[in-house]
């Protein structure tokens, strides 16, 4: 069982930056791949980024490549999403998730409660 708690969301102007954190409980965090997803009002939840258990492989949706960076610190049981050059279309609730192998699909076993990111124009 893994419990995930996101933090770091907020209101930022376009072009600004935020760093989201996702703290995981449990001693097996390092064995899980982690993903970030987002859901804007009236839209389906979508994949943003994922990272393998050891950080060796990372994946991004095309719309955030070059602006967002996913990373993890297994000693702190935490995964991060550094978001730079934010755009109004990045506004959404951001969720972290865990599963055994990284994937771009929604098929993750554990989910956090989400953190709101709002980018003003």
The per-residue pLDDT for 21 is: 98
The per-residue pLDDT of the chain, averaged, comes to 96
The per-residue pLDDT for 103 is: 86
* 74 contacts 68 by C-beta, under 8 angstroms: no
pLDDT tens-digit map of 42-63: 999 999 999 999 999 999 999 9
- In the predicted model, residues of the chain with pLDDT beneath 70 are none
What are the counts of helices (DSSP H) followed by strands (DSSP E) for the chain?
0, 11
- What is the distance between the alpha carbons of residues 9 and 19, in angstroms, rounded to a whole number? 8
* 91 contacts 68 by C-beta, under 8 angstroms: no
Q: Which residue do the tokens 């102007």 mark?
A: 13
Rg of the chain on CA atoms, in Å: 13
């Amino acid at each position: 069982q893994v419990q995930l708690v996101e933090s770091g969301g907020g209101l930022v102007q376009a072009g600004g930056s935020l760093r989201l954190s996702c703290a995981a409980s449990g001693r097996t965090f390092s064995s899980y791949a982690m993903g970030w997803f987002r859901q804007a009002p009236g839209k389906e939840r979508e994949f943003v980024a994922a990272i393998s258990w050891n950080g060796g492989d990372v994946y991004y949706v095309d719309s955030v490549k070059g602006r967002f960076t996913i990373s993890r610190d297994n000693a702190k049981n935490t995964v991060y999403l550094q978001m730079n050059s934010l755009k109004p279309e990045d506004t959404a609730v951001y969720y972290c998730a865990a599963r055994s192998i990284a994937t771009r699909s929604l098929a993750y076993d554990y989910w956090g409660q989400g953190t709101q990111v709002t980018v003003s124009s």
